[in-house]
Chain A
Amino acid sequence: MIVPHAIPWAPDQELGQYLEQRGVSRRGFLRFCGEMTAVLGLASNFAPRVARALETMKRPSVIWISLQECTGCTESILRTAEPTIGDLLLDVISLDFQENLMAGAGDAVEDAMHAAMKENKGKYVLVVTGSIPINEDGFYTTVAGRPVREILEETAKDAAAVVAVGACAHWGNVQAARPNPTGAVGVADIIKDKPVVNIAGCPPIGDVITATLVHYVTFGRVPELDREGRPLFAYGAKIHDQCPRRANYDAGQFVEAFDDAAAREGYCLYHVGCKGPSTFSPCPIFQWNTRTSWPIGAGHPCIGCTERGFWDTMTPFYGRLPDIAGIGVEKTADIIGAVAAVGATAGILGHAALTGVSRMRARELPQYPNGPGSSGGASNAPKA
């Protein structure tokens, strides 16, 4: 891994010069620009514009704060076997403040954050990982003796853009799952006065963050977002519609158990609870671990981690439909439905039998008088 501080990126140095200094070839740089252009869904003739924007880019100031989280997002992004230019970019721009990567500790770190905020007021990009607990005045997570909500509000106030990385910062993640004891919420629930870009996922794909920053640098604004505040270039299609196992789905070929012949054939995981049909994410295209694999590629169903509330709505992870709460885990929708349908049919047959018996006893039934204008409750019974 490239150590961030090994060769620092000087504040007034352009990225092109810096990369050259780091030994990145021109060809490698242009390939990266082409990749990012493709990831953003832009036409290939945008690549030169992306390249121009990137090579003349001055070092952006990024403050990266960690709130109520497991640090898995940072791990996922930084620990790659072969750092790409994108990883390098992420490494070098997270210089101003990143608790996990900083060598310092204690007051020195706090001072560094405040200094960076003051120096780049209104210009820095705030990256947030982790949720914000709001119950009990947020005492569930404190940093430097302060509830993280205060830290978020303070840092977001003068930020040029807020990027919420990971499911925790997006909506709260597992700590916000029912019953949500800490009252965990996402960044967008706290920061209302400026747009929050949600890089959804537990953890999210590093390329999406890089591409979002590239978009910001190239066009001077955040990319187009969906209803959840996620960049559309990445979260614009369901996993299901990009899945390499889609052909098996179309053909009606499904894995029934993880050790059956269909699983060895690599058939569709729809039956064993794949949430790809409910999940918007670029996983099948971008993939993980330097693009070697991803969950469905490894034979595991998608759990839908880019969707809000997935611990509650996407569970059971190995079943296609959610359980009905309060009735029991085994009593799924189909059992209830079948019981209702059979019960209704049995009731109908019983009612029909009783009607038959009743009508055998007396064929003519008395009637109510028939409303206004009635001719006196005339019956169709035979007249005596």
Chain B
Amino acid sequence: MTQLASGIPLEPPVTPDGPAGRILQHPVGKPQGHYEWVYLWQLPIRAMHWVAAASMVVLIITGFYIGRPYFMTQTLATGSFSFQWMRLFHFVAGFLLIATALVRLYWLVAGNKFERFTALFPVRPRDLKNLWRMILHYSFIDRREIRYIGHNPLQQLNYTSVYVAAVIMALTGLALYGTANPSGLVWQSFAWVADLFGGLPRVRLVHHVLTWYFLVFIPGHIYFVLRSDLYEVGNLSSIINGGKFVEAGHDYIDHNPSATTT
């Protein structure tokens, strides 16, 4: 009887027969043999992911209101504080996002091999080569698959770009936030951003346009996660419980379970 690394015996799953069964069958292929659980995302990363996700939703909703208020109030000015509430939520969510970015930044160094810098930015020659193969594969040109347990090169590129975008958002956001108190620490520290872009209106424009980048990124992110969950290596659960089940004895480009188990 085959066993997991944890020692739990595992029966091979039953495959349904017949044409309907063939279509409904999991497209990754008939599960074979036994599985092992690979721990990918440690608690700080999972917590950071969901805090960042929630704050991004708040930031986008309130950010569009600040950019162009989509509802107005009709009372005396003393009877409403809606715009300032929106700004408060925006600033709180923004600072939360910056906090998650700091956690992420530290974990680029302190994390495991799936969480470290080299696994998140396509810097290795291996990943650059596979990036091109992934593009061909995702364009239905090359049918051969490249399997990573962690982030594949396309996902790496996706995250690299969102990290860069988030850094620019944080810098421009801090510069805009700082103007409310020009003698304060925030403006003293980030006024250079306004000079860099050539004036506050341009900082605003960059901050505004990059919001749309996140709206391009988020559907893509969700799609690739679901697609990978269905067709490649299960992904969805790993950002909740930290790991994924992979077939034991199968080698992945960034992980080699057969070398460590048995």
Contact = CB atoms under 8 A, between A and B. Distances in A.
Q: Do A and B come from one complex?
A: yes
Contact of A378 (B27, B250, B253): B250
Contacts of B68: 271, 320, 334
B83 to A, nearest CB: 4
Which of B75, B82, B145 is packed against the most chain A CB atoms within 10 Å?
A: B145
B200 to A, nearest CB: 4
Interface residues on B, range: 35 or more
A321 to B, nearest CB: 5
A307 B182 CA distance: 14
Interface in A348-362: 348, 351-352, 354-355, 358-360, 362
Contacts of B140: 354, 358
B6 interface: no
A65 B154 CA distance: 62
Contacts of B227: 352, 355
A196 B204 CA distance: 29
B36 interface: no
B201 A313 contact: yes
B82 A341 contact: no
A341 B7 CA distance: 48
B71 A366 contact: no
B199 A313 contact: yes
A378 B145 CA distance: 12
Nearest to A333: B209
A374 B257 CA distance: 10
Which of A237, A248, A368, A383 is packed against the most chain B CB atoms within 10 Å?
A: A368
A237 B181 CA distance: 7
B146 A333 contact: no
A351 to B, nearest CB: 7
A315 to B, nearest CB: 9
A251 B83 contact: yes
B138 A363 contact: no
A340 interface: yes
B118 interface: no
B52 to A, nearest CB: 19
B145 A321 contact: no
Contacts of B80: 250-253
A337 B29 contact: no
A365 B195 contact: no
A102 interface: no
A333 B145 contact: no
Contact of B247 (A308, A373, A380): A380
Interface of A: 226-227, 232, 236-238, 241, 247-254, 262, 270-271, 275, 277-278, 280, 304, 307-310, 312-314, 320-322, 324, 333-334, 336-338, 340-341, 344-345, 348, 351-352, 354-355, 358-360, 362-368, 370-371, 373-375, 378-383
Interface of B: 23, 25, 27-30, 32, 67-69, 71-75, 77-84, 86, 126, 133, 138, 140, 143-147, 179-180, 182-183, 191, 195, 198-202, 204-205, 208-209, 211-213, 215-216, 219-220, 223, 227, 231, 247, 249-253, 256, 258-259
Given A312-B198, A334-B67, 19 more contacts: A237-B182, A238-B182, A248-B77, A252-B80, A271-B68, A275-B201, A278-B204, A309-B198, A313-B200, A324-B209, A340-B212, A340-B216, A359-B27, A363-B25, A365-B145, A380-B29, A380-B250, A381-B29, A382-B32
